[in-house]
Structure 1
Amino acid sequence: MDIGDAQQQLSDPVALGQALVGELVHSLAMRGVVHSDLIAHAWETPCIHLVGVFDPDVDVDTPVGFLPVPDTEATIVARASIIVANAALGSSTISYGSENGGALFVNLVVKPGEGHEAEKSKGPMKGHTDAVWLPVRGEQHPYDVRISPSPDFVCLAGLRNPNQVPTTVMPLRSVLRHLTTDQLHELAQPQYIIGPQFTFKKRLKELFGFDLFVEGSQLLFWVDDSPWIRYSHSSTQTDTEESKDAEAAMDAFEAACKVCVEGYSLAPGDVILVNNRTCLHGRSEVGEEHGAKSRWLLRAYGLDTTGLDASQWHEDSSHILWP
């Protein structure tokens, strides 16, 4: 298959996932893995680390920006690997029109220079969930019913990681064991303000015309007796200055995250699927090195889209969600 054919197949991740997942499920069954058990496992574990699933031999330098993702044999197979992994979990590989122009995959790399974006790309990241301003699946956003849910899974493929910088995860159940019953109660109350994270912020303001802070939000949910979380230290605050108990609960939650950190160093060729409902994720410090053969991951999102309305999709796209 030439590059043009591969690009065409990647442009419709739903069709590609459906075309590939049957063979994967059959292969797993031959090894005694039941498909439904695999999906259940993905909701019982903070993340799934798939080791050596594609050939990571990349023949171009590491990019220095989120976009574009270079089209090489390695990046194409890496993207296809994520698409089929999501399909195996009952998820679609999706993106959001308000983040990175709706690009399905982005580079996670160090950006050269100064300023917020460059500095952020070099440093560590605290525990958070992605697309925190968007509602969790099953909830409706107060601004517009068309606003789609945040992803179920954050998907990373390793292309280069010369310094073995770990992706960090904080399993929610482990974090919650460090909190009191009162603190859990506070986190589940609709008393927090959530703003959009940096990659969404500019485009969302252009769409709606004002700063998008959602008041009366809760951070902790219980879904079928399982805890779900939406949280970002940089985008979450208490509703009023008088909410001392709410603020204390959030501070205790962040402190608990710091003592529940697990590290996964993605080797080239690895894929990791982090559950964005039952786990927080971050990373250790990356460092200054950029371009050349420096750290390079690809990122995408997975979501169970079966309950979405047609209005929550961008027109003529099988993967871009609104807004």
Structure 2
Amino acid sequence: MTAPASAVAADPTLIGIDLPDDVRDRLGADLAATPDPTRDIDWSMARYLQIFAQLPTETLQRVLDFGRHPDTPGVGHVRNAPVDEHLPATPRDGNPSPDKKSFVAEGVLLGLSGLIGEPVGFTTEKNGRLVHDVIPVEGGAMTQTNQGSAVFLNFHNDIVHDERGRYDLASPDFLVLSCLRADHEGVAGTYYADARDICRAVDERTLRTLRSPLFRMNAPGSYVRDVAGGAEVLSEPVPMISGPEACPEVSAAANGVHAMNDAARSALDRLQAACREVAHEVFLRPGEALLINNRKGLHARSPFTARYDGQDRWLQRTYVRRNQWDIRYRATPGTRRLH
């Protein structure tokens, strides 16, 4: 699969949020003085809320509105955020760096996350950590996972394996992606295709098929690799698109979607083509973050060359939900992690 040829410009489904230099510097000073958030995540989230409450009212409202209204844009591009003064080598194994001594990047990530919901950790993804280091890993270069680099990461949303058979219900409502280091050539693009644009791009027959329960999602690659021993674990039959016409929700598994008949296979191909036609394209740089609505649209990533030399692309990611009450059955006793 090839990357989208171009980005859609000036569209209401994407917003830009630029921090003034003085705001960036004030946030950076406060975050640099904040300890490792993993020591006491609840205290840290409270502190981040205090820090980010200093944003200009209009900026703060834009971020808050992004998280709370059905009709707001599906992706937000935050620019000119503070960065760590010193950044160690990019880890090669996808785990947190033991050499990272400051936590400005984590503060930006968790501070933005706390404005749109609550970060959550699933034990089958990055061992339940709230902050995910998204880094190319040599053994996963060709995979449809966050370890990949050499192949186009298909349009998808981040889903969670669930024994009830519906992988979309317990999944994050939002993702936040923050850039610590760009790839060597600066060519790794992140794409977002809004469900509203997708629905307008496909014909009525295709849309009816996509709204029918004719598709089975494969579980996330991390679950298949670490729990299922490489075997596919398919969901119950589900539609790809659901919800009212004005506010549709779209679901697609990066690790594969099985169409149940020929019409569904054709509709699935058309869906991926429509995503390429309507996608926004962002080349993340240090000090930039993406707020991604995981229900309003699908995201993807272009291929790039990883060198595994300590200077590879390094993003951090959170999974965010507006409400954890309806997934309380997944709670792990004595921790804030979800199984």
Q: Aligned partners of 1:99, 1:80: CA distance in 2, in Å? A: 21
Spell out the pairing of 1:1-323 with structure 2 (5 A cutoff): 6-7=35-36, 9-25=37-53, 27-29=55-57, 33=61, 37-40=65-68, 44-70=72-98, 72-74=100-102, 76-89=103-116, 91-112=117-138, 116-117=142-143, 120-131=148-159, 133=161, 142-143=164-165, 149-161=170-182, 162-164=184-186, 165-205=188-228, 211-222=232-243, 225-232=246-253, 234-239=255-260, 243-318=261-336, 320-322=337-339
* Offset, 1:132: 5.8
- SS of the equivalent of 1:290 reads coil
* Offset, 1:12: 4.4
- SS of the equivalent of 1:232 reads coil
User: Aligned in 2, Cα 1:45/1:69: closer, same or farther, shift over 3 Å?
Assistant: farther
Tell whether the 8 Å contact from 2:216 to 2:235 is kept in structure 1 after alignment. Answer: yes
**Partner letter of residue 191 of structure 2?**
T
Tell whether the 8 Å contact from 1:204 to 1:212 is kept in structure 2 after alignment. Answer: no
Q: Which residue of 2 aligns with 1:137?
A: none
Q: Which has the higher contact order (CA 8 A, sep 6+)?
A: 1
Q: Aligned partners of 1:158, 1:42: CA distance in 2, in Å? A: 27
Tell whether the 8 Å contact from 1:159 to 1:296 is kept in structure 2 after alignment. Answer: yes
User: Aligned in 2, Cα 1:50/1:315: closer, same or farther, shift over 3 Å?
Assistant: same
**Partner letter of residue 338 of structure 2?**
L
5+ long unaligned stretches in structure 1: 135-140
Normalised by the length of structure 2, the TM-score is 0.78
- SS of the equivalent of 2:292 reads strand
Tell whether the 8 Å contact from 2:53 to 2:60 is kept in structure 1 after alignment. Answer: no
Q: Aligned partners of 1:314, 1:224: CA distance in 2, in Å? A: 37
Q: Aligned partners of 1:281, 1:15: CA distance in 2, in Å? A: 32
Q: Aligned partners of 1:287, 1:115: CA distance in 2, in Å? A: 9
* Offset, 1:281: 1.0
Tell whether the 8 Å contact from 1:94 to 1:301 is kept in structure 2 after alignment. Answer: yes
5+ long unaligned stretches in structure 2: 1-29
Normalised by the length of structure 1, the TM-score is 0.81
Provide Cα deviations, 1:210-267, integer angstroms capped at 9, x if missing partner.
Answer: 852113222111169411111035421112xxx2222221111111111122211111
User: Aligned in 2, Cα 1:148/1:184: closer, same or farther, shift over 3 Å?
Assistant: closer
Q: Aligned partners of 2:164, 2:171: CA distance in 1, in Å? A: 14
Greater shift, 225-234 or 26-35, is seen at: 26-35
Q: Which residue of 1 aligns with 2:18?
A: none
Q: Aligned partners of 2:50, 2:31: CA distance in 1, in Å? A: 23
**Partner letter of residue 237 of structure 1?**
H
Greater shift, 216-225 or 260-269, is seen at: 216-225
Greater shift, 45-54 or 223-232, is seen at: 223-232
Tell whether the 8 Å contact from 1:13 to 1:92 is kept in structure 2 after alignment. Answer: no
Tell whether the 8 Å contact from 2:241 to 2:248 is kept in structure 1 after alignment. Answer: yes
Tell whether the 8 Å contact from 1:46 to 1:274 is kept in structure 2 after alignment. Answer: yes
Alpha-carbon RMSD across the aligned residues, in angstroms, is 3.3
